[in-house]
Every structure is written in structure tokens, then in C-alpha cells.
Amino acid sequence: MSQTPTAESRLALTDEEASLYSQIDKQNLPKHIAIIMDGNGRWAKKRDFSRIKGHKSAIPAVRQTVEGCVDLGIEHLTLYAFSTENWKRPPQETGTLMALLRQFLRLELKAVRKHSLRVKVIGAIHELSPGIQKDLKTVFDGCSKNTGMCFNIAINYSGRMDILHGFKTAMAAGVDPESLTEQSFKPFLSTAGQPDPDLVIRTSGEMRISNFLLWQIAYSEIWVTPTLWPDFRRGDLYRAVLDYQARHRRFGGI
């Protein structure tokens, strides 16, 4: 059997990660995993580093998560990178976060090609700087024919705004409000055409949603870990999936 690049990367797993991987039921995977990547600042504080260094140190966690999801066969991954509320932070921090996003997008073009990722950005992109918008366009143009995992990055995202924008778009398209249903509204959301997240992961222990995908996570399973985002590795992803697989999803039934 020829070795796929992802099988190759699996060779680098620690014994513990390999053991967790082998316990995952590959027939019962979450179709869509959404992650609130939190704790970069606290990770830095613990080490007496600047918050900015904390954000910079989070890149390996993102890489391992993307690789890990591709390798497992997850169809949709959404990473929450920047909320509309994050603009409340000092301009030096928001500026660095935007610069890091640009750097990340450029560096990850190789991974996008390697895994044929379908990259989509959700959030108010039109409010971002022309430089980031240009980089995003380069990524979109480069993946229009891709067929792999759908990789959503939430930038300048607000769950409330997603719903409000969807409703305004539906009205502008001439949809009769009386005939609008939960199902017919879904195509007007930023995640149109994608299944709702089955599993939401939040790092750094906070028990809150912070304006993430409010409509879409109505019945998601939530897994919170005290691990701070820069320390998140494949083993944590596998633990989240294993925990998800042990849940009994009732969707209001019995």
C-alpha cells in the first residue's frame, strides 16, 4: 500500500498518542469539529513572556490540529481565530494577531495544497485590512478545485452577527418572512452547505461560548480542556474525539 502523507505524519506520534488513535472508532467520527482556541495569553504569562509571544507559540497547535483532523478523516474543521469583540484589546496585540494570521496563511499554502484543503473564512472579512483580504483571496483562488477537508477559519467573527446578517440577506433576497423555517434559513448563514458542528472543543478551561457559531451549536457536544491552546497536541484532539464517542446524543429525545 502506498503511504499517504498523513500516514507518514502519524509515524511521528508518541506511544500515548498512537494508543489513543487506535481506540477511536473511525466509523463514528464527528463530521464537523469546531474549536475555540483560547489561552495564549495565560500560556505566555505563566512563562513571563509577552502575550504576543503566546500567540506566536500557538502555530504548532494549529498545525497539529489540522494534520490530525485530516488524518482522522474529519470532513469539516472550524477554528475560531479572532472574534469581533477581540478588537477591544490593545492595538499592538490586535495588530500582531492580524500580522500572524497573514503569516500563517502564507506559510500554510503548502499544507492547503498537500491536503487539498477547502479553506473558507467566516466573519466580516470586508472590514479587515486590504493586505489580509488580498492574502485570503490568494488562498481561496488556490483552493477552488480542492476536494479535501473543509477548513473554516473564523476571523472577525460574531455568532450574533452571523444570524443577523443571514436574516438581512434572506430579506434582501425577497424571502417571505412568514415562510422562513429553520431549514430554509440555514443557507443564509456563514456555514451554508456544511453540517452543524458535532463537537465543540474549548481550551484553557473557560465554560463559555464567547459568541461562536450560536445558531450552529444548538446540539453540539462540548468538550472543555484545561490545556492552554499553545500546548494543544494531537493527543488532546484524540481525547476529545474519544470523549465525544462515549456520549449519548439525544437531540431532545430519549
Question: Quick check: helix, strand or coil at residue 199?
Answer: strand
52 makes contact with ligand IPE (CB under 6 A): no
227 makes contact with ligand IPE (CB under 6 A): no
Question: Quick check: helix, strand or coil at residue 243?
Answer: helix
Q: Please tell me the number of Cα atoms within 13 Å of 168 on its side-chain side.
A: 7
86 makes contact with ligand IPE (CB under 6 A): yes
41 makes contact with ligand IPE (CB under 6 A): yes
Q: Which of residues 185-214 bind Mg ion (CB under 5 A)?
A: none
- In the chain, DSSP finds a helix count (H) and a strand count (E) of 11, 6
In the complex, residue closest to ligand IPE by CB: 41
81 makes contact with ligand IPE (CB under 6 A): yes
Partners of 82 in beta bridges: 155
Q: Is the Cα dihedral 189, 111, 62, 148 positive or negative?
A: positive
Give the one residue of 13, 37, 38, 78 binding Mg ion; rule: CB under 5 A: 38
208 makes contact with ligand IPE (CB under 6 A): yes
The answer on whether 156 is annotated among ligand-binding residues is no
Q: Which of Mg ion, ligand IPE, none sits in contact with 83, Cβ below 5 to 8 A by type?
A: ligand IPE
Query: Please, are residues 216 and 197 in contact by the beta-carbon 8 Å criterion?
Result: yes
53 makes contact with ligand IPE (CB under 6 A): no
Residue labelled with grid coordinates 490593545 = 90
Q: Which of residues 45-104 bind Mg ion (CB under 5 A)?
A: none
In the numeric block, which cell numbers belong to residue 170?
434572506
Question: Distance of CA 108 to CAs 91, 126, 189, Å?
Answer: 25, 22, 26
43 makes contact with Mg ion (CB under 5 A): no
Q: Which of Mg ion, ligand IPE, none sits in contact with 77, Cβ below 5 to 8 A by type?
A: none
Amino acid at 243: D
Q: Which is nearer to ligand IPE, 5 or 226 (CB)?
A: 226
The answer on whether 41 is annotated among ligand-binding residues is yes
Residues in the site for Mg ion, rule: CB under 5 A? 38
